Chain A
Amino acid sequence: SAVISQKPSRDICQRGTSLTIQCQVDSQVTMMFWYRQQPGQSLTLIATANQGSEATYESGFVIDKFPISRPNLTFSTLTVSNMSPEDSSIYLCSVATGLYGYTFGSGTRLTVV
């Protein structure tokens, strides 16, 4: 199965700033998924990123707030823009490997102060 390197593992940011999270996969994958886990909550899908096309965002998430890049089949970034304390969460990337396999990055714990 694929191995994902996700960076940074954690960060503390000032409100109003932006943070870019990176995920590097050790193999080529078609789809990458970005999730958010707010404190005490489930993992909620933010968007699906397919190489060469615009990311598809779930209801409640918009590109201006969470721009995503997918320049090639092994890399993606998620930016959390104009941050507020409500953005404090764990952000995770994931890839589908094969028909039913899924791999997750180790997560980015973001605290906005």
Chain B
Amino acid sequence: DQQVKQNSPSLSVQEGRISILNCDYTNSMFDYFLWYKKYPAEGPTFLISISSIKDKNEDGRFTVFLNKSAKHLSLHIVPSQPGDSAVYFCAASEGGNTPLVFGKGTRLSVIA
């Protein structure tokens, strides 16, 4: 049973446009959500996170939106740059030293 779902395995966006990556979850106990960027043969790189008490968190070009009622979150990258091309993982936590649960990832390709 997949608790964190990223239904789009890949996304292609032109440079300068907005990239929107989506994530859905089923576990109501999740109260903290994170987005990671990952290159092959490297550990995940933390991008941005959001607590369940918020509906938006912004950090530079990255914004994460959380819709708790829909159990849905999204990562917006604007403007998209070729260096953003990577696999993006959505992850969720119940907090308090519990492990992260990851989605399957979305491969973002930003085309110059």
A107 touches B100 (CB 8 A): no
C-alpha gap A44/B99 in the complex (Å): 10
B93 touches A107 (CB 8 A): no
B97 touches A42 (CB 8 A): no
Q: Does A112 contact B (CB under 8 A)?
A: no
B97 touches A96 (CB 8 A): yes
Partner of B98, one of A6, A43, A44, A96: A96
Q: How large is the interface on A (under 10, 10 to 19, 20 to 34, 35 or more residues)?
A: 20 to 34
Interface residues of A in 1-42 (CB under 8 A from B): 6, 9-10, 30-31, 33, 41-42
Partner of B105, one of A30, A42, A48: A42
Q: List 13 A-B contacts (CB under 8 A).
A: A33-B100, A41-B104, A43-B89, A45-B99, A45-B101, A92-B43, A92-B44, A96-B97, A100-B32, A100-B49, A100-B93, A105-B43, A107-B43
